[in-house]
Structure 1
Amino acid sequence: MRHIGLIAGAAAASLVAAGAITYAVAEDSGSGPRTPTADSADAGFARDMAVHHQQAVEMSYTVRDRTSDPDVRRLAYDIAQTQANQRGMLLGWLDLWGLPKVSADPPMTWMGMGDMASGKDGALMPGMATNSEMKKLGELSGRQAEVFYLQLMTDHHKGGIHMAEGCVAKCTVGVEKKLAQGMVDAQRSELQLMADMLRERGATPRS
């Protein structure tokens, strides 16, 4: 049953992605809000969350090949598919708005946290794994890989929720705010699921 729900969730995300892009085009035409500027929260969130999501996709595909556990593999697949779809939406909006996908400003500047984004060992934003942690994940296998992935993804989701809540508060494009709120709701649910999965493996979140 969990397998069916996760696959359905991924399929629904694909449909939402297509619909959201269409809605964004409609919203930006006619009497809709003006196109966001490069330094807006809308653009900053789209750029930063696209990078944040990309790492989640990479982690998920890595662990999928490092364990045979069906529950972890299904969770990883669902996260990878959902976040890849959402990343496509975010980058699509930047194209739609005619804005660059990279910025000279530090990550999180749109949230007033540009001076707090460390970038230490590749961890550019809250919750992101370091390059060393990504390398370690690729070297582990079995239960060790499962636990480390669940711990890394728990931190990743907490950082992602913080960023998405920032967009809910600061973004002005309605469809983007709705996507951000959807991220908050879905990732909170996955945090509970991952806590349960860690407990089943005799482990706990790192923070």
Structure 2
Amino acid sequence: MSTEAVGGNESGRADDPDDSDAVRAESGLGESGRAASADLDSTEADGSSPRRRTTLFVLLGACLLLTGFAIGVIARIPLQDKGDAAPNAVDVGFCQDMSVHHAQAVQMAALELSGGSDPEIKRFAYDILTTQQNQAGRMQGWLQLWQRPSVDPDGYMGWMSAHGGMHDSMGSMPSMSMSAQPTGAVQSMPGMATATEMNRLRQLTGPEQDTLFLQLMLRHHQGGITMVDYASTHADTDAVRTLATSMNATQQGEIQLMTQLLTARNAPPLPMT
């Protein structure tokens, strides 16, 4: 993996420097992540079955989700005492929608880890799984503290409708025409894989799965950037703005890496959905 991509992921795990408890918790997670990465290499070497590997990754993901949830709670308690700004619709909506967006990325990464063949891509998938599952847990922890539902029942991205946010952000997305841009809550976020695409990713193995994983994840990242950009400037809480900013840096670097990997395989990117 390129140095740029590794640096981006470290920034993706960064949190508010004032939240010393959260930083210490994340340091411990980093040690666990390195140990688990070593386990990943040994699992590949001993020829464990894909089903067993998938089960291990699911268990790892659940642990990271709980860890992120705890970090979110710990990080917010001192900020509440300091009179941090109350969450607005952007804070809440971003945490709700990005948790769902991350969940699919984690699922795709787990499939690549269980059936892919390229060690570099599998390590990249592992990095996505651990980072985004932890971030999802953190966002769900904040929603619990704010006493808000984990998912908006009205749909996705309605929180970006104010000030023309959704219209302005989506206008620059690949293959997204101005006439196709939504103006309120939508039923599917841009870049999300369809059920058919996810089933195909499950069925493929080896180099074919490596390529489809990169194509789906590249489009997934490109679709998520519009939400990250908007939240980094319109959220009221420092914690959400900081997390969105770090996500932006991480995913921009990962977009460059995936584009390079697809070019090396003579595989085109997928059009935006």
**Residues in 2 aligned to 1:206 and 1:102: alpha-carbon distance in whole angstroms:** 27
Q: Which residue of 1 aligns with 2:142?
A: 93
1:176 aligns with: 240
How far off is 1:28 after superposition?
A: 1.8
Matches for 1:1-207 after TM superposition, within 5 Å: 9=9, 13=13, 15=26, 21-34=73-86, 36=87, 40-112=89-161, 113=166, 119=187, 124-207=188-271
CA drift of 1:102 comes to 2.2
Moved more, 89-98 or 19-28: 19-28
Q: Deviations over 1:161-193 (max 9, x none)?
A: 111111112210011101001001100000111
The AA in structure 1 aligned to 2:76 is: A
Q: Which deviates more from structure 2 when the two are superposed, residues 17-26 or residues 50-59?
A: 17-26
Count of paired positions: 199
Output the amino acid matched with 1:127.
Answer: G
RMSD: 2.7
Matched letter for residue 165 of structure 1: D
* Residues 72 and 142 in structure 2, CA contact (< 8 A), matched pair in contact too: no
Gap change, CA 1:117 and 1:100, over 3 Å in 2: closer
User: In the alignment, is the contact (CA less than 8 A) between 2:158 and 2:184 conserved in 1?
Assistant: no
Residues 60-102 of structure 1: CA deviation (Å, up to 9, x unaligned)? 0011112221011101000010000000000000011111112
Deviation at 1:205, TM superposition (A): 1.4
TM-score of the two chains, using structure 2 as the length reference: 0.66
Q: Equivalent pairs: percent with the same residue?
A: 38
Question: Does the CA contact (< 8 Å) of 1:54 and 1:87 recur in 2?
Answer: yes
Separation in 2 of the partners of 1:160 and 1:25?
28
Structure 2 spans left out of the alignment, 5+ residues: 14-24, 28-67, 167-181
1:65 aligned counterpart, secondary structure: helix
Pick closer, same or farther for the CA change 1:116–1:144 going to 2, 3 Å. farther
TM-fit CA distance, 1:33: 1.7
Cα 1:71–1:117, aligned 2, differ >3 Å: closer, same or farther? farther
Task: Give CA deviations for 1:149-172 in whole Å, capped at 9, x if unaligned.
Answer: 101000100111111111112210
Q: Whose Rg is larger?
A: 2
Offset at 1:202? Answer: 1.7
Gap runs ≥5 in structure 1: none
Deviations 1:28-57 (A, max 9, x none): 2243223x25xx110010000000000000
Contact conserved, 1:47 with 1:90, CA < 8 A, in 2?
A: yes
Answer yes or no: is the 8 Å Cα contact 1:56–1:156 preserved in 2: yes
CA shift for structure 1 position 24: 2.0
Distance in 1, matches of 2:76 and 2:144, equals: 11
